[in-house]
Amino acid sequence: MAKAKIKNNVPTKSRTKEDLAVVGKNWSRLDGADKVSGRSIFADDVRLPGMLFAKVVRSPYPHARIISIDTSEAEALPGVKAVITPEDAKDIWIGISQPLLPTENVTHVGHEVAAVAAMSEEIAAQAAALIKVEYERLPELLDVEKALKEDAPQLHEKAALNIGWQQEEEHGDPDAVFAECDVIREDTYITNPSHNCYAEYHVCVADFTKPGKLKMWTPTQTAHLFQQSLAAGFKLPASDVRLLTLNTGGGFTGRTSTRPHHFLAALLSRKAGKPVRLRAAGDEEFIMCRAGGKVIYKLRSGASKDGKLKVIEADLLFDTGAYIESQMIVTLLTSKYIHALYPIEASRYRGRLVHTNHLPYYFHHGGGIAQFQFALGQHVDALAREMGMDPVEFNLLNAVEEGHTTMEGAHYASCGLKECIEKTAAMAGWNDKYGKLPKFKGIGIGIGAMASGAKGLYKHDTSAAFVKVTEDGKASLFVGLPDMGQSSHTTMAIICAEVLGILPTDITVISGDTDTDPLDIGAFTQRGTFNTGNATKNAAIDARDQLAKTAANILEVDEAQLVFRDGKVYPEGQEDKAIAFAKVVYKTLHSREGRFVMGRGFYNSPLEKGTMAYSFGAQIAEVTVDPGTGVVTVDKMTASHDVGRAINPRVVEGQIDGQIFSGMSQVLYEETLMEDGQVMNPSRLDYKMPRAFEMPEVDHIIVESIDPNGPFGAKEVGEGPIVCTMQAIANAVTNAIGDQVTEMPLAPWRVIRAIKD
Amino acid sequence: MAKQLIALTVNGDPYEVAVSPHQTLLEVMRDSLNLTGTKRGCTAGSCGVCTVNGEQGEVILSCLALAVEWDGRSVTTVEGVEEGNELHPIQKSFLEHGAVQCGFCTPGLIMSAKALLDVNTSPSETDINEAMAGVICRCTGHIKVKKAIKEAASVLREREVNHGES
Ligand code: FES
Ligand code: FES
CB of residue A485 inside a 6 A radius of ligand 2: yes
More confident: A11 or A59: A59
- Given A554, A581, A603, the domain boundary residue is A603
Residues A546 and A654 reside in one and the same domain: no
With 80 as the cut, is the pLDDT of residue B91 above it?
Answer: yes
DSSP A249-308: S--TTSSSS--HHHHHHHHHHHHHTS-EEEE--GGGHHHHS-----EEEEEEEEE-TTS-
Question: Min CA distance, A386 vs chain B (Å)?
Answer: 35
Question: Min CA distance, A31 vs chain B (Å)?
Answer: 9
Q: Which run of H or of E encompasses A371?
A: helix A369-386
Quick: pLDDT tens for B100-121: 999 999 999 999 999 999 999 9
Q: Given this model, what pLDDT does residue A378 score?
A: 98
Q: Which atom of ligand 2 is nearest to the CA of B139?
A: 2
Give A29's contacts in chain B (Cβ within 8 Å): 95, 98, 100
Q: Given this model, what pLDDT does residue A1 score?
A: 35
- How many whole angstroms from A198 Cα to the centroid of ligand 2? 8
Question: How does residue A751 score in pLDDT terms, banded at 50, 70 and 90?
Answer: very high
With 80 as the cut, is the pLDDT of residue A13 above it?
Answer: no
Among residues A723, A739, A620, which one has the least CA distance to residue A376? Answer: A723
Domain assignment present for A659: yes
Q: What is the extent of the structural domain holding A741? A: 295-456+609-756
Residues A89 and A238 reside in one and the same domain: yes
Q: What is the DSSP letter of A120?
A: S
Residues A583 and A650 reside in one and the same domain: no
Q: Given this model, what pLDDT does residue B163 score?
A: 80
Largest interatomic CA distance in chain B: 56
Question: Cβ contact (<8 Å) for A689 and B43?
Answer: no
Q: Which residue, by CA, sits nearest to atom 3 of ligand 2? A: B137
Tell me which residues of chain A, numbers 551 to 610, contact chain B at a CB-CB cutoff of 8 Å: none
Per the CB < 8 A criterion, the answer to whether A702 and A641 are in contact is yes
In A605-676, which residue ranges form alpha helices assigned H by DSSP? 649-668
| CB nearest to A695's CB, from B41, B139, B143 | B143
- How many whole angstroms from B79 Cα to the centroid of ligand 1? 17
Q: Does A38 touch chain B (CB under 8 A)?
A: yes
Give B95's contacts in chain A (Cβ within 8 Å): 28-29, 32-33, 36
Domain assignment present for A132: yes
Question: Cβ contact (<8 Å) for A247 and B103?
Answer: yes
Among residues A117, A88, A123, A126, which one has the least CA distance to residue A204? Answer: A117
Give B35's contacts in chain A (Cβ within 8 Å): 38
pTM for this one?
A: 0.96
| Residue A570 belongs to domain with CATH number | 3.30.365.10
Question: Cβ contact (<8 Å) for A658 and B98?
Answer: no
| Ligand minimally distant from the alpha carbon of residue B46 | 1
**What mean pLDDT do residues A50-69 have?**
98
- ipTM score over 0.95, yes or no: yes
Q: Residue A132, Cβ neighbours under 10 Å: how many?
A: 13
Question: How does residue A97 score in pLDDT terms, banded at 50, 70 and 90?
Answer: confident
Summary mean pLDDT of chain B: 96
Residues A489 and A449 reside in one and the same domain: no
Q: Which CATH class is domain B4-79?
A: alpha beta
More confident: A458 or A319: A319
| Residue A123 belongs to domain with CATH number | 3.90.1170.50
With 60 as the cut, is the pLDDT of residue B2 above it?
Answer: yes
- Return phi, psi of residue A571, to 5°: -70, 140
With 50 as the cut, is the pLDDT of residue A722 above it?
Answer: yes
Q: How far apart are CA B12 and CA A31, in angstroms?
A: 26
Summary mean pLDDT of chain A: 95
Quick: pLDDT tens for A595-620: 999 999 999 999 999 999 999 999 99
CATH architecture of the region B89-165? Orthogonal Bundle (1.10)
Q: Residue A654 contacts by C-beta under 8 Å, 6 or more apart in sequence? A: A487, B98, B101, B139, B140, B144
CB of residue A692 inside a 6 A radius of ligand 2: no
- Given A552, A573, A603, the domain boundary residue is A603
Residues A545 and A494 reside in one and the same domain: yes
Kindly identify which residue of chain A lies nearest to residue B77, measuring between CA atoms. A38
CB of residue B119 inside a 6 A radius of ligand 1: no
Please state the length of chain B: 166
Residues A510 and A381 reside in one and the same domain: no
Domain assignment present for A5: no
| Ligand minimally distant from the alpha carbon of residue A281 | 1
Q: Given this model, what pLDDT does residue A283 score?
A: 87
Q: Which residue, by CA, sits nearest to atom 3 of ligand 1? A: B45
Question: Cβ contact (<8 Å) for A684 and B46?
Answer: yes
Please state the length of chain A: 757
Dihedral (C-alpha) B106, B110, B113, B115: value to the nearest 10 degrees? -130
Residues A556 and A656 reside in one and the same domain: no
Question: How does residue A11 score in pLDDT terms, banded at 50, 70 and 90?
Answer: very low
Question: How does residue A734 score in pLDDT terms, banded at 50, 70 and 90?
Answer: very high
Q: Which residue, by CA, sits nearest to atom 4 of ligand 2? A: B137
Among residues A369, A363, A371, which one has the least CA distance to residue A196? Answer: A363
Residues A733 and A748 reside in one and the same domain: yes
- How many whole angstroms from A502 Cα to the centroid of ligand 2? 30
CB of residue B49 inside a 6 A radius of ligand 1: yes
Residues A378 and A439 reside in one and the same domain: yes
Residues A443 and A313 reside in one and the same domain: yes
Per the CB < 8 A criterion, the answer to whether A335 and A353 are in contact is no
Residues A467 and A430 reside in one and the same domain: no
Domain assignment present for A3: no
Question: How does residue A40 score in pLDDT terms, banded at 50, 70 and 90?
Answer: very high
Q: In chain B, what are the domain boundaries?
A: 4-79, 89-165
In A517-672, which residue ranges form alpha helices assigned H by DSSP? 533-555, 581-589, 649-668
Domain assignment present for A10: no
Q: Which atom of ligand 1 is nearest to the CA of B46?
A: 3
**What mean pLDDT do residues A179-197 have?**
97
CB of residue B117 inside a 6 A radius of ligand 2: no
Kindly identify which residue of chain A lies nearest to residue B134, measuring between CA atoms. A691
With 80 as the cut, is the pLDDT of residue A419 above it?
Answer: yes
Q: Does A45 touch chain B (CB under 8 A)?
A: yes
B135-161: string of b/e by CB count within 10 Å (b at 16+)?
bbbbbbbbbbbbbbbebbbebbeeeee
Give A47's contacts in chain B (Cβ within 8 Å): 34, 36
Number of domains in chain A: 3
**What mean pLDDT do residues A406-434 have?**
97
Among residues A134, A137, A129, which one has the least CA distance to residue A62? Answer: A137
Residues A312 and A425 reside in one and the same domain: yes
With 90 as the cut, is the pLDDT of residue A735 above it?
Answer: yes
Domain assignment present for A545: yes
> How many interchain CB pairs under 8 A, A with B?
168
CB of residue B21 inside a 6 A radius of ligand 1: no
Tell me which residues of chain A, numbers 479 to 508, contact chain B at a CB-CB cutoff of 8 Å: 484-487
Per the CB < 8 A criterion, the answer to whether A504 and A490 are in contact is yes
Question: Min CA distance, B34 vs chain A (Å)?
Answer: 9
Q: Given this model, what pLDDT does residue A94 score?
A: 87
Q: How far apart are CA A278 and CA A268, in angstroms?
A: 10
Give A729's contacts in chain B (Cβ within 8 Å): none
